[in-house]
Structures are given as C-alpha cells and as structure tokens.
Amino acid sequence: MSDTSLAEKQKAIEARNLALDIELSDEPSDTVSATASTKASHTFFGPDQPEESEEAKQQRVAVLAEKYSVKQRRLQWKVDICVVPALVLLYFAAFLDRINISNARLYGMESDLGLHGNQFNIALTVFFVPYVVFEIFANYLAKRFKPHWCFSVSMFVFGCATIGCGFVKSFGGLVAARFFLGVAEAATFDLIFYILSSYYTLREAQRRFSIFFSSTTLSGAAGGSIAYQIYNGINNNHLANWRWIFVIEGIVTVFIAFLLFFITPDFPETARFLKENEKKFIKEKLEVYSNIESGYEIKLSLRDYLPLLKDPIFYLTAVAYLSLVVPSYGYAYFATTIIKLLGYTSVSANQHSVYPWLSSFGYINIIAFVSDYFQKRWWFTISSSFIAIAGLAMVVGSDNPHVKYGGCFVTTLGLYSAMPVLICWTSLNYGGHARKSFGTAFQIGFGNIGGIISTFLFLSQDAPHYYRGLGTSIGFVALSIVCQLGMLFYFVRMNVKKQQQSYKDKFYQLSERERIMKGDLAPNFKYSL
C-alpha cells in the first residue's frame, strides 16, 4: 500500500471517530471537541503516535469522567463492592469443595471405601480431566449466556456433587462424584480472572486479583478448621465424620449458588449494577489505558480464535503457570498427610494445617500492595518462586519435624503469592476481548493439567519422606522461573518492536476489524513488566 493511500486511510479513520463522538455527546461544543479528540487519539492510533505518560492518561480519564458525569472514586468503590466479594465467595467455595477430600482422608475415608494402592490418587486425578477439557470453553460460553448464569448453575452443580461425595459407597462412586465436580468447576477460575481484568486497569488490578486469589488460602484454612470442629462436635453413628465434611460444605455451597445469581457481576458492558453512563466510562477508561478498543461488540466464532494458537506467548505463560500449579495442588492435597507423618494425630494434623494457610493469606496481600506500588510484576513472581523452592527444600532436606513444619509455612508463602501476580501480569497484558478471553482460558486450562500431575506426586509407597514428590515440585518451580524470564524477554522485545515504523505500517494496513482483533499486538499497547 502506498504512503498516500495509507495517509488517506488514517485521515478517514480519525474523521469517523470524531464524527462518532460529536454524534454521541450532549455537551457544549468546546467539551465535545476535547472529548472527541481524546477518543480519536486512543481508538485507532496513527503510526507516529507517541507513548503517553501516566499523567496524560489520567487527564484523559478525568475528561471522560466529566463527559459521562461520573465521580471516579465513588464508582471505584461501587465496582469493588459489587465485583470482588461475589467472586471471592465463589472461589472460596469452589476451592474448599475441591480440596476437602484431603481432610476427609485423615478421618478414615480410604478404609471405609476400601481404597487401596493408588486409588486415592486416581480419585484426585479424575477431577482434573473434565476440569481441563471444559475450562477452555468457559469464557466463550460466558459471552453467550452471561457470567451470573454460568457461575450460579456451575456452583449449584458442584455443590450437589460435593454432597454426593458424602454418600458414596465405593471407589467407583467417589470417582463419579469427583468427575462431575470437575465438570461443574470448569467454569470458575479463568472466567473470574477474565471478568476482573475487564473492570480494572493494570494499576488497579493487582490488589483485587490477590484479594480474590487469597480466598484459596482461606479455603485451605477453613477446610482444616471445619474438619477439626466436625470431629469434636458431631457424634452420629449413621454417618461417619469424613462424610459430614462433604455434606456440610456442599450444603453451604448450594446456598451460596442461589445467592450468587443475584449478586454476581457480568461484564461491564452488560452489568446490572452499573448505569449506562458508568458502563461507557469504564469501557472507554480501559481503552485509554490499553490504547486499544475492547472489541466486545464484535461477534466472535471459534474460527476467530484459531489464529491465536500460533502465538508463542500463550504457550509460555501457560507453562509458567502449570509449573506453579503442580506443587501448589500437591501441597493442597497432601499437606495434611505430610503433617500427620510429623507425629501428629489425624485431628491435630487437620488443626495444624490451618496455620500455614493463614500466614500466606496476609503475605499475599502485602505482595499485592508492594507490586502495585512498584508496577514491576516480574520482580515478585520470580522472588516468590525462589521462596517456594526454599520452603520445599526445608521439607525435603531436614529430618527435624519443626523444620519440616516451618517449611510448610515458607512453601505456602512462596507458591500462593507467586500465582496471583503471575496471572495478573499475563491477563492484563492480553488486550481486546478475543485475545483476553482466549489467553486467560488457555493459560488456566493448560496450566491446570498440572493438577493431574500433582495427584501422582505423593504416592503411598514414597512415605514418609516423599523425596520424589518434593524434588519434582522443586523442579517445576525452577521451570516456572525460566518461563517467567522468557515472558519478560518477550514483552521487552515486543515493546521495542512496536516502535519500529515497519511494524506500525503493516498494522495500519489491516481492516478495522482485523486491528481490533489484534488486541495487545497493536503498536500503542505497551506490555507491562
């Protein structure tokens, strides 16, 4: 395409954007001119558009707030109250129902069901097979049926599946219940991250991501505490204590499912708790900070997602996440067993499993605040990963039970603080609805294959030291560090590449729809580090 035709195309685009803003605005002409030029400057950037400073973006957002009559601080509180607690409650219940089998194991589940060999590990694995297979479609379905429907139905089903675990009579029944639990929970994790990244800018997001993710540590703590209270508080000859764990937690989940239908947020464009002016403000605010259009209005088919399979960043982020998932689920499923082998009784092991989870809850939120302050995510994913390696080394390398128990604290601090920062870093570096929905689903879906691997890390024949499982966990965390460094190299390289005139010229030769579908590959989208 010639330079003349390219220039004409850019002028036509700018004229169209200016006309759109004049048509939609009801403000005086001076304000219309300012806001129209604001939107035209970020909807489709010209090849020579300079990188904006944070102050310039804040000024543009202030203009948008005036245009849509929005008080930013009040709206931020409104979004925080309506979005974050519902998602925290959802994942708290999901993770609790997923790992409560580890608490039930200590109360005689294996002997009552006649499990032998690696059948317990197989029951854990069965959950992840449908979880991984169906998770990749969660974001696609959410755009068609809305998240509040997807979440509520999903939660109701996995609550019923959890109750079913309390009434199984054999290995086959346990496997069936865990399978349906995996199917139902497939629509939760990556869709939650997708929704959060649709409401918050990069600067706003990390603390909200970490608050949400810290619900996993509260689930771990609650699971041990509930199991401890059930043992001491319920004496029923008709139903074993381990069965009550599933029944009580499943009933609570079903109740929460009905509640979440009314309070779970949809995407900003269709959120029930937002006014029309607030929806428009949030949408354009995110476009200001990403320098691209979201593309929410574009109808997508599965064919639109196929070209994304050629992008290496999706595989790099997925492996980085998988390599943290393996030791994280390994700890979640087998920590109580390992703690019991330190000399505690079954009841005391459930009680002592609570404290490492609680300590990591506070640390996760501290890391979130600090990473928000410095705006350097890679510092904290890599440093937290090294902390996890140190904790695992303490567990595997010492014969002192106090050192091993201390290693459980250090392990949870590292693993469960690295994961939310990593996912936040990658999710917010995906721009546009197409790449964001695919990227988050692929990373979480592929990464959760690590859950399958984790179920066979700690085999009964490796007790009491579990050298193989702990050593493998250390190796996976090291692999994640390598992938995180690869991600850093990719983002730095792409930021440099986007400044090249040849890259910009090639991008602006695309059609309007093609440019929007490119998302974060747009020249004016700067990857965060």
pLDDT value, residue 61: 86
Rg (CA), the chain: 25
pLDDT score at 3: 45
H or E element that contains 108: none
Cβ–Cβ under 8 Å, residues 246 and 100: yes
Find, among 457, 212, 223, the residue nearest to 330 by Cα. 457
- Cis amide linkage into residue 130, ω under 30° from 0: no
How far is the C-alpha of 67 from the C-alpha of 464, rounded, in Å?
Answer: 65
Dist. CA 161–CA 174, nearest whole Å: 10
Amino acid found at 258: F
Segment-wise mean pLDDT, segments of 10 residues, the chain, 529 residues: 46 43 40 37 42 73 88 91 90 90 90 91 91 76 78 92 94 95 84 81 76 85 87 74 92 93 86 89 82 55 70 91 94 88 85 89 86 84 96 91 92 92 84 76 83 88 87 96 95 90 85 75 83
Q: What is the pLDDT of residue 43?
A: 39
Instruction: Give the pLDDT of residue 294.
Output: 52
323, 318, 346, 331: which is closest to 457 by C-alpha?
331
Torsion angle, alpha carbons of 278, 281, 282, 285, to 10: -160
Domains in the chain, CATH or no CATH each: 80-497 (1.20.1250.20)
DSSP string, 343-375: T--HHHHHHHTHHHHHHHHHHHHHHHHHHHHHT
Confidence at residue 48, expressed as pLDDT on a 0 to 100 scale:
43
Say what the pLDDT of residue 12 is. 47
Return d(Cα 76, Cα 313) in angstroms, integer.
31
Taking the C-alpha atoms of residue 366 and residue 473, their distance in angstroms, rounded to an integer, is 25
Residue at 205: amino acid letter: A
Tell me whether residue 140 is exposed, middle or buried, using C-beta atoms within 10 angstroms of its C-beta: 0 to 12, 13 to 18, 19 or more.
middle
Instruction: Give the model's pLDDT for residue 16.
Output: 42
Determine the pLDDT at residue 351: 85
Chain-centre distance for alpha carbon 416:
12
* H, E, C per residue of 259-305: HHHHHCCCCHHHCCCCCHHHHHHHHHHHHHHHCCCCCCCCCCCHHHH
- Assess contact for 224 and 103: CB atoms under 8 A: yes
* Cα 126 to the center of its chain, rounded Å: 22
Contact 63, 30 (CB under 8 A): no
CA distances from 116 to 110, 111, 119, 123, 455 (A): 7, 8, 6, 12, 15
Tell me how far apart the alpha carbons of residues 94 and 107 are, in angstroms, rounded to a whole number: 22
Contact 162, 100 (CB under 8 A): yes
> Measuring CA to CA, which residue among 156, 144, 142, 149 is closest to residue 198?
142
Distance (Å, whole) CA 319 – CA 330: 17
DSSP reduced 3-state for 389 = helix
Q: Give the 3-state secondary structure percentages of the chain, helix then strand then coil, rounded to 5.
A: 80, 0, 20
pLDDT of residue 51: 53
Helix, strand, or coil (residue 392): helix
